[in-house]
Structure 1
């Protein structure tokens, strides 16, 4: 069997997170916004989830939101590969990588994750593990950065490098596409899979403020094959110049788009709704539409279309 090719440098991913968490005054606004939207989605599901796993943490910010609405009444566990992310918040804490989940089968009724899975190499494998550790009729609700995120920054970086070096390397991580994400849910044999998109637009005083904010969120470069000199002065200045030229508003502020993929699916259970068996319909389409069957088949002669 072929070994999985690593796209992300896990040490760099975790190092970026440690650096970001060291600034205890920083408020991760994007994480808070996404977490609030996840909790809002959960509030529409009228059923209890007494055992909850938060996959990826930022000092228990989302776990606290879940506790406020009564979720995790029996057990709340926060998992993160970085110990600093687990030093606050309710529930039990487990330091582990998201691709190696150390839990028994059927351990949780709900798994939630806000912006913690876009830097894993084996997302299909993670989904299979989540299916295993969920109890029957348990729910997973995940939010990831999607493929259209930071397109402005990608464009400016690529053009700047073309201008200065005559070629461009990948500097911003590729994020999963919504169609691929939906297919992965089905591939993991999860029930009632749903994938949809939120788009969040943020404005900054200038492109350098955006880069600083990404660093503060722990979203620095972490590709295995990332090029050296990410912040070489000439490249940085040219990138900022192109960004302002193409993506500035009339007031001078620049925009950045974040695409948030929301993935939800259930551990299969016999009580769940199931699609009708193919060919099991008892009413012909023509009858339902009130037209002769020849019209739908294209065989009706002129004057025989009814009405």
Structure 2
């Protein structure tokens, strides 16, 4: 009887029948920890308090920040998986921008990447962020929050309810204005990508490059060119304007992990050539970033 292979995240279950008995063999697929790309369960090193050295008077729009695209998307296999580290480790590794997608059903906010449930709800996100900021009050966390895999266009009330239940109201930065570092420390700054009264800054107020469609590997050069150009625009642009560049991408024939393997390497090479002096690149949101890549970004401050 031929073997049957079933993929489950980083594991292959090999079903083999021998003399009428079924044996399961767990074969772990190779994972990679490079300087630019990391799909292992934990970062190579941590940098939990890097914002402590950023001057209090500096506006957040002038800080270069590493972030994660689709922060909670760790399940569903190659088509939907964008990160390998849990949120608590992402924060301790130095990630300061989160991209959170919630499905809204009868007041409940579960975390989704498209159709795939990510085994968490919005309260889990808030608890991790609140715990981290309590532990590291010199830091600030920005969170893009949007509705996904539901179309109620009415998540505001549920978001407020979750904040009161799983965090606290004063954890938030309650203004559309860009805070200085001293104002931002210890705060969750919601980048509001949904309708309703202000909970923080509006996501649409940022200058954003999110050319996420990468249908095939042949489209990788065009994807990289949008990233490169937007980083240049962020460096030269209005310092009062917040910039956000997504290096992530996906398509039917180019899964997020495959795109990240290529684009992250180009991103690190590009940044390494410009290292050595302060530069403002805004927020860089990535899939599967490695700790050295995060550190390279942080060092521009």
Name the structure with the higher helix share.
Answer: 1
Normalised by the shorter chain, which TM-score bucket?
A: under 0.3
TM-score, normalisation: structure 1: 0.27
Q: Which has the larger radius of gyration?
A: 1
TM-score normalised by the chain length of structure 2: 0.28
